[in-house]
Amino acid sequence: MLSAKTTLPTAATALPGRSTPLPTDEVHFVTGRPLKGPHPEGFRTAIFGMGCFWGVERKFWTLPGVWVTSVGYSGGITPNPTYEETCTGRTGQTEVVQVVFNPAEISYDELLKTFWEGHDPTQGMRQGNDIGTTYRSAIYTLDEDQRTRAEASRKAYQTALSAAGKGTITTEITPAGPYYFAEGYHQGYLAKNPDGYCGIGGTGVVCPIGVGVSA
């Protein structure tokens, strides 16, 4: 069972999913801003997987310059999966956070810094005690600039990790595919449930970008 959860499925073995989106919240529980837009002109979007998306979303919605966040599934095969389906490891989807941000207030590099420092990107198909493909570390890029910056930041952070005696980064960096909004009860989860579970934690190693050092 553990092997099934930590091995990515193929198109032949993935769950079929469904053609219609899952019901979800329409606005962010904290900010009241629309999850699905429209968003202000000139704002940009980023997608990150860092483990359990409950705690990850809170890391990003608190950043100045972030307009709205949502949680969902991306990077896999099964369309419009449920949370229960992703937990089987048979969708290929990653738990991710979609971040809509104002680049005049916060840069993509600064979001990358939060990404690297906010979890342990060396753990493969897990994050702490959360084990499975859905918890893998991932950056899904939406344009060539994001890809270039993400790959440069991975190289810079690996140098810092190696200097600190840490392991090798396993983060996947790939072009973003479809993003499927998670069910409503997952959106803004730790604001709705202040004592809820948050299983993510960083390495304690500072990422040398986003603070005047370009990726």
Q: What is the pLDDT of residues 133-189, one digit of tens each?
A: 999 999 999 999 999 999 999 999 999 999 999 999 999 999 999 999 999 999 999
pTM of the model: 0.96
Nearest to 139 by CA among 147, 130, 131: 147
Q: What is the pLDDT of residues 45-70, one digit of tens each?
A: 999 999 999 999 999 999 999 999 99
Q: What is the pLDDT of residues 82-126, one digit of tens each?
A: 999 999 999 999 999 999 999 999 999 999 999 999 999 999 999
> 53-61 and 108-117 helices cross at what angle (nearest 10)?
140
Is 52 assigned a catalytic role? yes
- Phi and psi, residue 148, nearest 5°: -60, -45
Contact in structure between 96 and 48 (CB atoms under 8 Å): yes
Contact in structure between 174 and 140 (CB atoms under 8 Å): yes
